[in-house]
Amino acid sequence: MSDEPTETADATEEGGAVVERERTEREFPSWERVRESELFVIAITTVALAVFPWLFARAPVISGVLQGYQDLATLIVIWGIFAMGFNLLLGYTGLLSFGHAAFWGGAAYAAGVFSTHVSSSPLLIILAGTAFAALLAWALGFVALRRGGIYFAILTLAFGQMAYYMALSPLSGITGGENGYTGVELAPLLGSFFLQYPVPGLDWLVGTWTYVLVGVVAVVCVAAANRILHSPYGMVFRAIRENDQRAEFVGLNVWRYKLMAFVISGTLAGVAGSLFTIYSAYVPVQSLYWTTSGEVVIMAVLGGVGSLFGPILGAGIYLYVENVISGVQQLTLPFTGPGEYVTLVQEPVVLLEGFGAYWHLILGLVFVAVIVLFPRGIWGLFEDAAGAVRRLGSDH
């Protein structure tokens, strides 16, 4: 007898199983597909930004432990945008820049001057500062990207320091020199909402209109960055990071893609710098100094380069140590006494006076520990832990 009917039946059953599996996947997409979808990223970012100031500054238990406050929550989001933009260059293209302060500070100054002499509308201020940073990034990238590696890093550092010293002296009539720019003017948002006022009915959640503006811009920036990273452009950025010579061999114009990555990164830094001007109503000349570039490098590496949200987490940790831990006066332990019971009338044991003064050392130790133990940063640690939990659940 021939086995053809049996083989045909088996093939039919296998084909039916494949079709059924594909139909199920269309109806119930996997968690990985959901997690990587654009709508999910935007939704989770919106929810996180909405509850962040409440958790950080107002939640009865959490804020009591963290000692956070509203202004710091806003500042963390602004620096998070800056670090995310820097990560597009370092984490996805492999280019280390030590001159990103030029875009942050340059946009801040441009936004401040624009607010005084052209328009005090917050939205127009953001557009002006961002446009200035994008043009500056194109000009500096056109020159700096002629060299690679350490030479590129040194060139960006040199350009950043040139911007700092120009603001300090030759352009002091515009920038205010050592005193910074103090003439920032801000009109109500959309002509109706004063930024420093609390949001009616939602002040317990998001605080002021300033945070609402910063949060909305942050969601737009995350959506734009996510779209870029999941586009063919993002794939080319990763290819250049892995091996730019091979990318050149397959016909890609590597220099042009590097320039585009540099411009996009500088543009996001400009968005953050413009928001910083709105947030502080003042532009310090230190915003152009090389230490600002160093801070954003630490934030990105601490949180995890090559991830979308890692640098934002790194910015939060850095600013928390700088602004909260630095204010801790004493490191203490509860007094337990020599007996079996806790002696409530005794004072806590003081281990170290002036603990907050050592915040640079504390941050350095945290940074070294993360680099040695978790090369992918803290966000990478979270992803590894989540993956281990999912694998454990699937095994059972």
Task: List pLDDT tens digits, range 172-213.
Answer: 889 988 999 998 999 999 888 898 889 998 888 888 999 999
Q: What is the pLDDT of residue 345?
A: 45
More confident residue, 359 or 118: 118
Q: Given this model, what pLDDT does residue 331 score? A: 58
Q: How much is the pLDDT for 357?
A: 80
Over the chain, what is the mean pLDDT? 85
Q: What is the mean pLDDT of residues 147-159?
A: 92
- Given a cut of 60, whether residue 52 has pLDDT beyond it is yes
Mean pLDDT within 219-239:
92
Q: What is the pLDDT of residue 192?
A: 87
Share of residues in the chain with pLDDT > 90 (%): 52
List every span in the chain annotated with CATH 1.10.3470. 35-323
Q: CA 382: distance to chain centroid? A: 16
Max mean pLDDT range (8-22, 301-315, 356-370, 381-395): 301-315
Q: Which of 281-290, 331-340, 379-388 has the highest mean pLDDT?
A: 281-290
- Contacts of 352-356 with C-beta under 8 Å, sequence gap 24+, read 353/329, 354/329, 354/330, 355/328, 355/329, 355/330, 355/331, 356/325, 356/326, 356/327, 356/328, 356/329
- pLDDT of 386 reads 79
On the question of pLDDT at 306 being above 50, the answer is: yes
Closest among 338, 272, 358, 253 to 87, alpha carbons compared: 272
Using the predicted structure, report yes or no on whether residue 25 has a pLDDT greater than 80. no
The answer to which of 15-24, 176-185, 215-224, 255-264 has the lowest mean pLDDT is 15-24
Quickly state the pLDDT bin for 243 (edges 50, 70, 90).
confident
pLDDT at 6 exceeding the cut of 80 = no
Q: Average of pLDDT values for 246-268?
A: 92
Its CATH architecture, for the domain 35-323, is: Orthogonal Bundle (1.10)
Q: How far is CA 272 from the centre of its chain?
A: 10
pLDDT at 351: 54
Question: How much is the pLDDT for 341?
Answer: 43
Residue 5: predicted pLDDT: 53
Any alpha helices (H) in the chain, and if so which ranges? 4-27, 31-36, 38-57, 62-66, 70-93, 101-117, 122-144, 149-168, 172-175, 209-229, 232-242, 244-249, 254-280, 290-303, 310-323, 359-373, 377-395
Top pLDDT among 388 and 101 is at: 101
User: What's the average model confidence in pLDDT over 151-157?
Assistant: 94
Half-sphere exposure of 190 (CA within 13 A, CB side): 6
Task: Quote the pLDDT of residue 285.
Answer: 94
Q: Position 100: which residue type?
A: H
